[in-house]
Homo-oligomer: A and B are copies of this chain.
Amino acid sequence: MVGYAFMGAAHSQAWRTAPHAFDLPLRPVLAALCGRDRAAAEAAAQRYGFGGVETDWRALLDRDDVQLIDVCTPGDSHAEISVAALEAGKHVLCEKPLANTVPEAEAMAAAAARAQARGVRSMVGFNYRRVPALALARDLIASGRVGEIRHVRASYLQDWLADPAFPLTWRLQKEHAGSGALGDLGAHVVDLAQYLTGQLISGVSGVTATFVPERPIPGGGGRSGPVTVDDAVAFTARLESGALATFEATRFASGRKNALRIEVYGARGSLAFDLERLNELEFCDNTDSAGSTGQATAGFRRILVTEPGHPYLSAWWPPGHVLGWEHTFVNQARDLLTDIAADSDTEPSFADGLQVQRVMAAVQHSAAHASAWTRI
């Protein structure tokens, strides 16, 4: 694993837990954690349960006991590490967004395609596909329960930048993060909109905002530096079928901590989801009626997605014994290891990640050109 911050902690928990929760064909071993600062890396390795550390990620490529590389670094190093790892024959799990630019993402998707021909697998870490409620949502849409889709309404609202005194971390610098709310939060909802509906976004019109242009530099003795990414973004979009979609991502929605919300409206029914209540899926079957009395009983059902037949749930706890955010990574690890063992394609692929990257680039282009409609 390369990187050991927030995502590193979450991924480690997943690798440790997956073999205890699921019957896996492969047993993951936490061989080595890689970080440039040896002392910090060793402390993290100790905490996370890794066998050892490396200070240069290239060293991982040479180790025979490393078959899979988990890329948890900021976006600016995703391409270099992932491409090298794939070429070295290592399976790769890369955090999202896939890259900071479309050309980087194209190179990664190409490398993934070449590697796939040699049986080397890659996955981009859009972990919310592994929320059981969202996997169920996709099943319901795919099986026609929602009907022809008219609307997707997606937003991802957080508030950790609402305080102007919050410091200028790497996530606020374009050279490291590529973009702000767009890549960090918007990428998730773009991926989900396409995943859930089975349709690609065909065009967008966007607007971005940076509300607080300067912030204190961490350890900067009181000096400030410029925020070079978006604080918030909003865009309208069309899906291939003509459905209308709206997206919004922000770090300034006071009181919303991790409110990834997505609603899908179709001719037969509708779905609604909120990540702050990730065990629940709201489903309205507009054809519900009260049988003999003929009275409409349609309404949004709050399905607690913890039943044995629900996606991933056979491995977890009894009904109503809810899962948390970290379980998405355990489920993701299970799918990736299962696919590697079965020598089968995994998803979301780097090609899926590239498509999301193209949508984000189109949003940025539109925002820079007076919101002009931009085709993907």
| Interchain nearest-CB distance for A317 vs B (Å) | 6
Residue in B147, B209, B303 whose beta carbon sits within 8 Å of that of A299 in the complex: B303
> Which residues in chain A, 141-166, are within 8 Å of chain B measured between CB atoms?
143, 145, 147, 150-151, 153, 155, 157-160, 162, 164
Is the pair B234, A246 in contact by a Cβ cutoff of 8 Å? Answer: yes
Answer whether A296 and B292 are a contact pair too, CB < 8 Å, given A207-B205, A269-B254, A284-B255.
Answer: no
Answer whether A317 and B309 are a contact pair too, CB < 8 Å, given A17-B13, A209-B242, A244-B232.
Answer: no
Is the pair B205, A371 in contact by a Cβ cutoff of 8 Å? Answer: yes
With the chains together, A225 CA to B9 CA distance in Å? 50
Contacting residues, chain B, for A303 (C-beta < 8 A): 296-299
Copies held by the complex: 4
Is the pair B211, A150 in contact by a Cβ cutoff of 8 Å? Answer: yes
Contacting residues, chain B, for A371 (C-beta < 8 A): 205, 236, 366, 371-373
Contacting residues, chain B, for A253 (C-beta < 8 A): 150-151, 265, 270
| Interchain nearest-CB distance for A362 vs B (Å) | 12
| Interchain nearest-CB distance for A265 vs B (Å) | 5
Is the pair B151, A232 in contact by a Cβ cutoff of 8 Å? Answer: yes
Is the pair A255, B236 in contact by a Cβ cutoff of 8 Å? Answer: no
Is the pair A255, B299 in contact by a Cβ cutoff of 8 Å? Answer: yes
| Interchain nearest-CB distance for A365 vs B (Å) | 13
Listed in ascending order, the chain A residues whose CB lies under 8 Å from chain B are: 6, 10, 12-13, 16-17, 20-21, 47-49, 136, 139-140, 143, 145, 147, 150-151, 153, 155, 157-160, 162, 164, 205-207, 209, 211, 232, 234-236, 238, 242, 244, 246, 248, 250, 252-259, 265-270, 275-279, 281-286, 288, 290-304, 306-307, 309-310, 317-327, 366, 370-373
